[in-house]
């Protein structure tokens, strides 16, 4: 997606260790118009893959929420964000999976209330980054536990050097990403 590639080139900041900071439009400040257009590309790409009826779009709090919400809206689906911490309102029973976040350097549990994922659901998993695939794998385990069908995975930015796409191969679901970034001795490279 050329518009996204240009935003990453213009605003992304390589802060070392393979981490690019895109907090001016993706994960602290969020550009709603860009988010809507990214969600439309994801929606249309899944249609082109033959993925049509979707009932749930699943992400992990926090930074996947804006894109997941807009993709869910376009599919007429409900959006679910897996919780990472307990709150007093979490009185139900939950699917739980462990994920290790590289940017935060911590391992966390992802939790989804069992009321919201059922065996008849058709699910897309959405997140901001496809890097090592750890969060996405954990989300896929939640879907698997519920018996729902995983119909596809989409992320805004892919880091092919971290191998996440290979990790996700076993899931046998189409994977869509909107921009790929890689780093070498010349710095940051961005492509569609």
| Structure token pair of residue 135 | 């969060």
Residue 53 backbone zone (phi > 0: left; psi -120 to 50: alpha; other: beta): beta
Instruction: Tell which positions 39-78 bind its own copies, by CB under 8 A.
Output: 61-62, 65-66, 69-70, 72-73, 76-78
Decide: helix, strand or coil at residue 34.
Answer: helix
Beta carbon nearer to its own copies, 83 or 168: 83
Q: Compute the radius of gyration of the chain from its Cα atoms.
A: 16
Q: Would you say 87 or 120 has its CB closer to its own copies?
A: 87
Q: How far is the CB of 89 from its own copies (least distance, A)?
A: 5
Residue 190 makes contact with its own copies by CB under 8 A = no
Torsions phi, psi for 147 (to 5 deg): 85, 0
Site for its own copies in 135-174 (CB under 8 A): none
CB atoms within 10 A of CB 97: 22
- Beta carbon of residue 49, minimum distance to its own copies (angstroms, whole number): 21
User: How far is the C-alpha of 117 from the C-alpha of 108, rounded, in Å?
Assistant: 20
Q: In angstroms, give the least distance from the CB of 70 to its own copies.
A: 8
Give dist(CA 144, CA 21) in Å, integer: 32
Q: Which residues contact its own copies by CB under 8 A?
A: 13, 15, 17, 19, 21, 23-24, 27-33, 35-36, 61-62, 65-66, 69-70, 72-73, 76-81, 83, 85, 87-91, 103-105, 112-113, 115-116
């Amino acid at each position: 997606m050329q518009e996204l590639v240009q935003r990453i080139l213009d605003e992304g900041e390589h802060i070392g260790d393979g981490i690019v900071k895109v907090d001016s439009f993706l994960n602290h400040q969020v550009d709603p118009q860009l988010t809507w257009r990214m969600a439309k590309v994801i929606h249309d790409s899944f249609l082109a893959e033959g993925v049509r009826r979707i009932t749930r779009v699943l992400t992990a709090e926090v930074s996947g929420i804006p894109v997941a919400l807009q993709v869910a809206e376009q599919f007429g689906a409900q959006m679910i964000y897996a919780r990472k911490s307990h709150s007093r309102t979490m009185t139900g029973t939950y699917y739980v999976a462990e994920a290790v976040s590289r940017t935060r350097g911590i391992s966390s549990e992802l939790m989804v209330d069992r009321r919201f994922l059922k065996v008849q659901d058709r699910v897309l998993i959405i997140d901001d980054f496809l890097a090592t695939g750890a969060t996405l794998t954990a989300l896929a385990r939640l879907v698997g536990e519920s018996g729902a069908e995983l119909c596809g995975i989409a992320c805004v930015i892919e880091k092919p050097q971290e191998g996440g796409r290979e990790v996700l191969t076993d899931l046998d679901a189409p994977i869509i990403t909107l921009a790929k970034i890689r780093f070498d001795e010349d710095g940051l490279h961005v492509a569609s």
